[in-house]
Amino acid sequence: MAERRAGAVQLPGGRTIDGEARIWNLPLAGSGGLILSFLLFVLLPTVGAGWYYGFYASRMFVSEAKFAVRGSVEKLPSTSSNSIMMMGSVATVNSNQDAYIVSSYIQSPAILTKLSESMDLRRLYARDEIDFLARLDAKAPMERLRKYWNKMVIPSVDTLSGVVTLEVKSFSPDESLSLARAILKESEGLVNEISLRKRNDTVRFAAEEVAKAEDRLRAARLAIQTFRNEAGVLDPLKQAEGTLRLLLVLRAQKIDLENEVATARRTLAEDAPSVQTLTTRLRSLNEQIAQYDSQLTSQAGGDKTASRILARYESLELEREFSEKFYVFAQAAYERARVEADRQQLYLVTFVPPALAERSLYPKRVGDTLVVFATAAAIWAVLALLVAAVRDHDV
C-alpha cells in the first residue's frame, strides 16, 4: 500500500482527502450541516432581532412638518428682439437654492449650538430608559452628536417644488413636537437673516454707486469752474462765436475797402491823400483781422487760442454731461434696487405645521424583523453555495 500523505484523512470506503480540504467536508456541509448552519446564522439572528424589536427597542415618535422658502428669484435676460431697448425687463423663476441652504442648516452644528441654548439635546436622547442601541452617549463629542442628530432629524427637499419636508424623531411625542417647532423657529430666523443681508447688500451697493456718481459729478463741475477761472472765460463757446461773427464783419469791410482802394488808384496818384488814407485803413483792418485770427487758431497763441480753449472746455463739458447722466441713472437704479429689495424679501412658509404624534412609527417590529431574516438568509445562501462549489471542486 502506498504511504499515506502527511495530513491526509481516511474517509469511509478507503478514500483519503488532504488536510487542507478538511474544512469543506465538515458536517456543516452536509444536509444536517445546512440545517444547523441555517439555525445558527439565520434563525438565531432573526429570533434575537424579533426579541429586540418586540420587547426591548424603545418606541420612537415622529413629528413631521412641511415648509417652503418663498421670495427668492433668479433673473433671466429678455429674449425679445428689442431686448436692447428693454434692458429693464426681466423674467423671474423660483429658485430652490435657499431651500437647500435651510436644509443644510438643519443638519449643521450651527443649529445644534442654537438649540442647545434653549434645550438639553443630550438629555433628550441619552436618557436611561432609552434602549442602549438607540441611546446617545451622554458624553459624546460634537461630531458624534451631529451624526446621531442627522439620523434623528431628516430634512428633504423636493427638487421641483422646493418644498422641504422635516421629519423629527424622538422617544416622546411631546419632545418630537417641541423639537420640530424649535427647528422651524431657528430656520425662520436663518431665512430672515438671509433676507435682511440680501436687502442690505443690494441697497448698500446701489447707494455706493450713487455716492461714486455724485463724487464724479462734483469733480467734473469743479474742473469746469477751475478752467473758467484760469482761462478768464465764462463760456468759451459763446466767446468764440462772438469773435467769429466779428471776424466775418471785418472781412466784409476789408473786401469793401479793397474795392475802394482799387478804384482810387485808377483815378488818383499813389501819393494822393485819399489813397494814403484808404491804404492806412486797409492796413489797420488787416492787422485787426490777423489779431482775431490769432486768437482763434494761430499757433503762436499757445494755450490761449480759442480753438485750444474750446477743445479743453468741450472735453470738460462732455465729462460733466456724462457725469450728470450717470448720476441720474445711479439714482434711478438705487430706487429700483430699494423697491426690488422690499418686494423680493425671503420668508419661510410653514403650510403643514408639526403635530403631536398619536402612535409610534419606529421601530417597525414585524418589518424590521423580516428585514433581518431576509438579509441573514441571503448571506447564508450565498455562503452555502460558495462552500458547496469549493467542496465539489476539491473533491
Q: For the residues of 119-170, what is the DSSP string, one character each?
A: S-HHHHH--TTS-TTTPPPTT--HHHHHHHHHHHEEEEE-TTT-PEEEEEEE
| pLDDT score at 212 | 92
- State the residue range of the domain holding 14: 9-54+367-394
Which residues, including other chains, have CB under 8 Å from residue 45's CB and lie 6 or more apart?
372, 373, 376
Do 228 and 126 belong to one domain?
no
Q: What distance, in Å, lies between the first and last C-alpha atoms of the chain?
A: 22
Domain annotation covers residue 4: no
Kindly state whether residues 50 and 65 are assigned to the same domain: no
Do residues 76 and 19 both lie within one domain? no
Work out whether the CA dihedral 296, 301, 306, 311 comes out positive or negative. positive
Those residues of the chain that have pLDDT short of 50 are 1-13, 15, 17, 19-29, 73-94, 300-301
Cell numbers for 143: 461630531
- Model pTM greater than 0.75? no
| Bridge partners for 17 per DSSP | 9
Model confidence pLDDT, tens digit, residues 202-238? 888 889 999 999 999 999 888 878 877 776 666 666 6
As for how many domains the chain has, the answer is 3
| Domain-located, residue 71 | yes
**Residue 6's pLDDT is what?**
45
Specify the residue for cell string 425662520: 188
For residue 86, what pLDDT is reported? 36
- Do 20 and 87 fall into the same domain? no
Is residue 343 situated within a structural domain? no
Q: Residue 137 and residue 122: Cα distance in Å, rounded?
A: 8
**DSSP code, position 128:** T
**Residues 120, 147 within the same domain:** yes
* Statement to judge: residues 269 and 199 lie in one domain: no
Supply the pLDDT for residue 5.
45
Query: CA nearest 317: which of 236, 242, 244, 243?
Result: 236
**Any domain includes 158:** yes
161/288 same-domain check: no
- Spatial separation of the C-alpha atoms in residues 19 and 25, rounded to whole Å: 10
Domain assignment of residue 2, yes or no = no
- 72 and 191 in a common domain: yes
Same domain assignment for residues 80 and 199? yes
Same domain, 74 and 122: yes
Residue 1 counted as domain residue = no
Same-domain check for residues 311 and 373: no
Give the pLDDT of residue 103.
Answer: 94
